Chains A and B, each alone.
Chain A
Amino acid sequence: MSSVLTSNRRPADLTAMALLLRGLHLDGLLLAGIGAIMVVGLLALYSAVGESGTLVFRQAVRLAAALLAMLMVAQIPPAWYRRAAPWIYLVGLALLVMVLLTGDVGKGARRWLDIGLRFQPSEIMKLGLPLMIAWLLHERPLPPSFGMIVASLLLILIPVALIALQPDLGTAILLTMTGAAAIFLAGIGARYIFGAISLALISLPVLWYWVMHDYQKQRVLTLINPDSDPLGAGYHIIQSKIAIGSGGLFGKGWLNGSQGQLEFLPERSTDFIFAVIGEEFGLLGALSVLLIYLLILFRGLVIAATAQDTFSRILAGTISLTFFFYVFVNSAMVTGLIPVVGVPLPLVSAGGTSMVTLLAGFGILMSIQTHRKLLAR
């Protein structure tokens, strides 16, 4: 075994490497992409936190723990997830109700639950929902009937409403997109899609006037004209654009970004870390990061397309698209394309809980990919 790991890279050894990965139920391409992003992320973080080794070490520990979770999730065959799907979903729902009743308040919202360990139940739902929708649709013929679509929408709406009540609008929107991705992949008809889009457009004014909080409206207004409130909500966007824009084609170089280094950029280690990448590594660096993300997505989609049963296909596709959606929302927000919503950059932003969910999701993808051929035999 050790000779395999330490030997030189000859074709025969590559095969040995592949065998090792297979044995651990890991997917090489996916793992390579995740690893590459993590390395870039740690470099950016080291720069963003003012070259503090301890903070980066802490993040590395979190990444390692999340990778371990991924490894464990990957060992379990997809059939098990299919059987457990409704239960995971129901437990997730129960916890969401609990958090509304007894949860801890942080930053004005009730999001945290403390039962032995402290976590946000909405994290469970990020995997519970795609599991549930895939389970619901997998046995019946696709594209889904009208009744199945209504049932799916209800399954999406309940957790989304519970999370919106906390209130955590960002997660609610992301979860809605997760559900939408699942239904889309299931083959829902074009007229439903266009119907949903028109309905969304019509409901925009309703949201604006009756549903959205003032601070949420402020974020939208700030996006349109950041200079209207340069000291308040517009500050993040202005500083973020300066950081990215001044990076140019090649960037200022690692640890040389003045906006990030001089601490002008708020939340530079968490939600706005993409601006640090844009400033120090330039357009080429930022684009490379986006392309690695795209690669991870494509690998996920390939796993979905070649999966053997409907449940695995929908599940794998939904997890991959959700992951990409995070990437898009964060990078679009940091570059000032969309309003500021608190969505971290996956695998890069500092912070613990969502990282575990994210890598558990990849664990499911790997499980689907690596248990495929075993089943085929």
Chain B
Amino acid sequence: MATSIRIKDHWAEQRMFLRRVIVAGLIAFFLVTLVFGRLFQLQILEYDYFSAQSQGNRIRVQPVPPTRGLIYDREGRVLAENVPSYQLELIPEQVPDLEATLARLVEIGLIDGEEVAELQTLIGTHRRFDSIAIRQRLTDEDVAQFAVHRPRFPGVEIRARLARNYPYGPAVAHAVGYVGGISAAEKQELDEAAYAGTSVIGKTSIEDAYESGLHGEVGHAEVLVNARGRIMEVLGGEAAIPGGDLMLTLDVDAQLVAWDALAGRRGAVVAIEPRTGDVLVFVSAPSYDPNAFSAGLTRKEFRALQTDQDRPLFNRALRGAYPPGSTIKPMLALAALHHAALDPDDTMYCGGYYRLPGKSHRYRDWKREGHGPVDMHDAIAQSCDVYFYDMARELGIDRLADFLQRFGLGTTTGLDLRGEKAGLVPTPAWKRRAFSRREDKVWFPGETVITGIGQGYLLATPLQLAHATAVVAARGERYRPRLLRGRVNLDTGETEYGQPERLPPVAIDDNAQWDRIISAMNAVLQGERGTARAVGRDAPFTIAGKSGTAQVFSVGQDEEYDSEEIEERMRDHALFIAFAPLEAPRIAVAVIVENGESGSRTAAPIARAVLETYLDTSS
């Protein structure tokens, strides 16, 4: 036995194995006893408790979706609310044959045949015992229709739910946004438990940006249901915490006036309060009916919106980048004053075109015969291009670009919405980066010249233009534009206002230079020869403004611009910026009408209507 070689001892091994088998048997017996103990605890000791939960009645834990927060305008008028509506819901576990059930629902006209495939995917992404909304906003007829056929649809029920309603519809759609069904992609990212029982989510603008606050917190209810699953009594649970109400900076009166004034044309109107950054008007047209989305749009309807030539879903105010045209002239004039590039009182002769020294190319003025002798004041009031061609050359592209950037062009303004576009302020450095072909990387002097009248590569969004205008109105002070004015405190019911956020101001050496520019802008509307004098003439308050016309279609060297012959979509964009009153400006506005041809004729009246409405109704 003491040898190092172990010999297989069958008898010893068998005894050892027997011991092990007995130990294993004992462990197994112990584990069964453990489960038995647990059964004893549940079925004997806690029998009364569990029996009460199940006896005769049946308890179901249901999510209680929170009520979505309301959205108000700055005066407390409701922009988004929740109204009761009926929807069709389906619990997969209780449906014997899903395909046949959906087919029957198509048959009685409650769902669209084209949606079936989509609904099946939707149902596939839910748990079998979840209640899934398959059709929203049922009409009374739909409800009656379903009631008749109810026995044929086990597992399908009509539920009263709250649906989002937007009283002002398309007019505020691009500012407030809309809610719609939660997509598969969104489902991946959000916390499913937090959205149990909720079938919609904020898709764009405010509804999207403040989704987490508007949504609230889901609650749950333990409910007693009878054998058919109908709720008999709510036993307990936890109440949902409703989403917080938001107060926006918008002024609905002015917003509606802007919407009506655009009269269905493509364009955008943005107005900002210069001393706070409050966005008073935020219109993009054409628009869409946000109520259609919360009602559940069919794929076909959505596709129609997406492929519409006029792009109603596109938020022009936030994302439309347009050449700003002559509207940037006041800012450039300020740059020239700041850098002492010229004497504002010197006059220069405008003969209708401009030539760079030693070049033959003619840069034309919009007025063919020219403006004659003009100083800086006249050049702004009459929008003389030649004066600004020369000023741009004098300033140079780098100083010119730098000054425009100080007004917030070329970068996002930081408005509290997602997806804002930055526009573009071109510089030689940008051109080197942006182009790949060597001959394209060169910055030509002529490109500086046309940047002087807001053409060329220069692009700005309506929001950026309104912001820049507000900066001029506030004489250099800058505030971050915002749409959220305050949140309603759930406990006290009081609105807690957010503080305006100051941005680095546009600082110039001599503040009197602001007054010089603003006076010239005043002359645009209320001077003898201003481009928009027809619009400003009988205004009950003082206005400063500037018209702009941006080329969509470039006109050849010696051709005439003949609007009659040019297709509607090739016509110039009309722009206008304005603020009022001069002394203590309360509102600054930027208007863009796509293919509106003339800033002073098409865009300026819209701007004036907005100013007048806001100054009239707010005090």
* A contact residues around B18 at 8 Å (CB): 305
B43→A181 contact, CB < 8 A: no
Residue contact B20 to A247, C-beta cutoff 8 Å: no
Number of B interface residues in the complex (CB < 8 A): 52
Specify which chain A residues have a CB less than 8 angstroms from the CB of B542 in the assembled complex.
none
| Contact (Cβ within 8 A) B40 A283 | yes
Cβ-defined contact, A264 with B60, below 8 A: yes
A181 and B14 alpha carbons, distance in the complex (Å):
17
A242: chain B residues within 8 A (beta carbon): 50, 53-54, 59
- Contacts A181-B24, A185-B21, A310-B13 given; indicate if A246 touches B50 (C-beta within 8 A): yes
Complex Cα–Cα for A247 and B55 (A): 10
| Contact between B32 and A328, CB atoms less than 8 A apart | yes
Q: Determine the chain A residues whose CB is within 8 A of the CB of B300 once the complex forms.
A: none
CB 8 Å contact bits of A236-258 with B (1 = contact, 0 = none): 00100111111111000000001
Which of B21, B34, B47, B193 interacts with A245 by CB under 8 Å? B47
List residues 40-68 of chain B with CB under 8 A from any CB of chain A: 40, 42-44, 46-47, 49-51, 53-56, 58-61, 63
Q: Identify the stretch in A16-24, A67-75, A224-232 within 8 Å (CB) of chain B at 4 or more residues.
A: A224-232
Given A140-B8, A185-B17, A335:B63 Cβ within 8 A: no
Q: Does B190 contact A (CB under 8 A)?
A: no
Q: Which residues of A contact B56 (CB under 8 A)?
A: 258
Contact A264–B9 (Cβ < 8 Å): no
| Chain A interface size range | 35 or more
Q: Chain A's nearest CB lies how many Å from the CB of B191?
A: 10
With a cutoff of 8 Å between Cβ atoms, the chain A residues found around residue B129 in the complex are: 235, 263, 266
In the bound complex, residues from chain B placing their C-beta under 8 Å from that of A249 are: 43-44, 47
Least CB distance from B23 to A in Å reads 8
Please determine whether B42 and A304 come into contact, CB atoms closer than 8 angstroms: no
Tell me if B438 is interfacial: C-beta within 8 Å of chain A. Answer: no
Chain A neighbourhood of B8, CB < 8 A:
140-142
As a 0/1 sequence over residues 274 to 307 of chain A, the CB contacts with chain B under 8 angstroms (1 = contact) are 0000100011001100110110011001001100
- How many Å lie between the Cα of A248 and that of B48 in the bound state? 9
CA–CA, A250 to B94, complex, Å?
28
Given contacts A181-B24, A187-B17, A283-B43, contact A263 B93 (CB under 8 A): yes
The answer on a CB contact under 8 Å between B50 and A258 is: no
- Cα-based distance from A127 to B17 in the complex (angstroms): 21
Q: Contacting B54 at CB < 8 Å: which of A140, A258, A310?
A: A258
Which residues of chain B are within 8 angstroms of A112 by Cβ–Cβ distance? none
Q: Mark B188-205, 1 if CB is under 8 A from A, else 0.
A: 000011001000000000
A259 within 8 A of B: yes
A98 to B54, CA, bound (A): 48
Contacts of B24 in A (CB 8 A): 181, 184-185, 301, 317, 321
B192 to chain A, nearest CB (A): 7
Determine if A126 is an interface residue (Cβ-Cβ < 8 Å): no
B6 in the interface (beta carbon within 8 A): yes
Q: Is the CB of A283 within 8 A of B17?
A: no
Q: How far is the CA of A278 from the CA of B47 in the complex (A)?
A: 12
CA distance A369 to B525 in the complex (A): 108
Asked if A187 and B16 sit within 8 Å, CB to CB, the answer is: yes
Complex interface: chain B residues within 8 A of A241 (CB): 42, 50
Contact A246–B47 (Cβ < 8 Å): yes
User: Is A324 a contact partner of B54 (Cβ separation < 8 A)?
Assistant: no
Residues of B within 8 A of A266 (CB): 93, 128-129
How many angstroms from the CA of A261 to the CA of B435 in the assembled complex?
70
Our count of residue pairs bridging A and B at CB distance below 8 angstroms stands at: 151
Nearest-Cβ distance from residue B410 to partner chain A, whole angstroms: 43
Do B128 and A283 touch across chains, with their CB atoms under 8 A apart? no
Our pick among B7, B21, B49, B58 for the contact of A305 (Cβ within 8 Å) is B21
What string of 1s and 0s marks CB contacts (under 8 Å) between B224-236 and chain A? 0101010000000
Interface of B is mostly: helix
Shortest Cβ distance from B128 into A: residue = A266
Contacts of A185 in B (CB 8 A): 17, 20-21, 24
Segment 334-371 of B: residues with Cβ below 8 Å from A: none
Contact A317 B21 (CB under 8 A): yes
Judging by beta carbons under 8 Å apart, are A287 and B39 in contact?
yes
A332 to B35, CA, bound (A): 6
Could you say which residues of chain A place their CB within 8 Å of the CB of B126?
Answer: none
Partner of B25, one of A141, A293, A297, A310: A297
Please tell me if the beta carbons of A230 and B61 are within 8 angstroms of each other in the complex: yes
User: Which of B28, B50, B55 is A294 in contact with, Cβ under 8 Å?
Assistant: B28
Q: Is the CB of A301 within 8 A of B53?
A: no
Partner of B28, one of A259, A286, A321, A332: A321
Does B31 count as interface, using CB distance less than 8 angstroms? yes
Task: Please measure, in the bound complex, the distance between the C-alpha atom of A299 and the C-alpha atom of B59, giving whole angstroms.
Answer: 42
Tell me how far the C-beta of B86 lies from the nearest C-beta in chain A, rounded to whole angstroms: 23
Asked if A336 is at the interface of the complex by the 8 Å CB criterion, the answer is yes
CA distance A305 to B59 in the complex (A): 50
Task: Answer whether residue B29 sits at the interface, using C-beta atoms and an 8 A cutoff.
Answer: yes
Q: How far is the CA of A243 from the CA of B43 in the complex (A)?
A: 9
Does A170 sit at the interface, judged by CB under 8 A? Answer: no
A61 at interface, CB cutoff 8 A: no
State the Cβ distance, A58 to closest chain B Cβ, in Å: 16
Q: B54 to A243, Cβ gap below 8 A?
A: yes
Please indicate which of the listed interface residues A278, A286, A293, A305 has the most CB atoms of chain B within 10 Å of its own CB.
A305
CB-based contact B55/A246 at 8 Å: yes
Q: Contacts of A336 on B, CB cut-off 8 Å?
A: 38
Closest CB in chain A relative to B222 CB, distance in Å: 8
**Are A305 and B39 in contact, with the CB atoms below 8 A?**
no
Residues of B close to A328: CB separation below 8 A: 28, 31-32, 35
By beta carbon, the residue of chain B nearest A307 is B17
A290 to B34, CA, bound (A): 11
Task: Give the nearest-CB partner of B46 in chain A.
Answer: A245
- In the complex, the chain A residue whose C-beta lies closest to that of B29 is A294
For residue B302, CB closer than 8 A to chain A, the reply is no
Does B36 belong to the interface (CB within 8 Å)?
yes
Assembled-state Cα–Cα distance A298/B20 (Å): 13
Complex CA–CA separation, A248 to B44 (angstroms): 6
Give the CA-CA distance A286 to B94 in the complex, in Å. 27
Please state if A246 and B40 are interface contacts (CB–CB under 8 Å): no
A152 vs chain B, min Cβ distance (A): 15
- Interface check B104, CB cutoff 8 A: no
A298 to chain B, nearest CB (A): 6
By beta carbon, the residue of chain A nearest B193 is A232
A212 at the interface (CB under 8 A from B): no
CB distance from A227 to the nearest CB of B (A): 10
Question: Any chain A CB within 8 A of the CB of B161?
Answer: no
Assess whether A313 is interfacial by the CB under 8 Å rule.
Answer: yes
Q: How far is the CA of A365 from the CA of B38 in the complex (A)?
A: 31
Q: A140-B8, A264-B60, A304-B21 in contact; A278/B39 too (CB < 8 A)?
A: yes
Residue of A262, A294, A301 touching B58 (CB-CB under 8 A): A262
Minimal beta-carbon separation of B20 from chain A (angstroms):
5
- A331 CA / B32 CA spacing, docked (Å): 9
> When the two chains form the complex, which single residue of B6, B49, B192, B227 contacts A141, counting CB atoms closer than 8 Å?
B6
Q: Give chain B nearest CB distance to A295 CB in angstroms.
A: 11
Q: How far is the CB of A206 from chain B (nearest CB, A)?
A: 26
Interface residue B311 (Cβ < 8 Å from any Cβ of A): no
Pairwise interchain contact B49-A245, C-beta atoms closer than 8 A: yes
User: Which one, A258, A301, A321, A337, contacts B38 given CB within 8 A?
Assistant: A337
* B43:A282 contact, CB within 8 angstroms: yes
6 new A-B pairs (CB below 8 Å) besides A141-B7, A242-B53? A185-B24, A262-B227, A266-B93, A290-B32, A336-B38, A337-B34
The 6 closest A-B pairs by CB, nearest first: A245-B50, A246-B54, A245-B42, A283-B43, A246-B50, A141-B8
- 14 A-B pairs whose Cβ atoms sit less than 8 Å apart in the complex: A185-B17, A230-B61, A231-B193, A241-B50, A242-B54, A245-B43, A245-B50, A249-B44, A266-B128, A278-B39, A297-B28, A298-B25, A317-B20, A332-B34
Residues of B within 8 A of A (CB): 6-9, 13-14, 16-18, 20-21, 24-25, 28-29, 31-32, 34-36, 38-40, 42-44, 46-47, 49-51, 53-56, 58-61, 63, 93-94, 128-129, 192-193, 196, 218, 220, 225, 227, 229
